Amino acid sequence: MSNDITSVKQPEESTSVALTKGMEMMIAGFIPNTRYFDSRFDLLQVQVDLMQKGQSEVKSQIIRLEDQVERRFERSDEILKGFKCDVDKRSEQVDGRFSSLKTDMDKRFEKSDQNLNDFRTVVDKRFQQVDDKLDKILERIDRRIDEGLRENRVQSMRMFTFAMTFSAISMIGLVGKMMKLF
Structure confidence at residue 128 (pLDDT): 93
Structure confidence at residue 114 (pLDDT): 92
Which amino acid is located at 79 in the chain?
I
Find the angle CA(44)-CA(63)-CA(71) to the nearest 5 degrees: 165
129-136: long-range contacts (C-beta < 8 A, 24 or more apart)?
Answer: none
Measured CA to CA, the distance from residue 44 to residue 50 in angstroms comes to: 10
Mean pLDDT by 10 residues, the chain (182 residues): 48 60 68 74 88 89 92 89 88 86 88 90 91 91 85 84 86 86 81
Measured CA to CA, the distance from residue 86 to residue 149 in angstroms comes to: 90
Measured CA to CA, the distance from residue 41 to residue 37 in angstroms comes to: 6
Structure confidence at residue 33 (pLDDT): 67
Structure confidence at residue 1 (pLDDT): 46
Element (H, E) at 91: helix 34-181
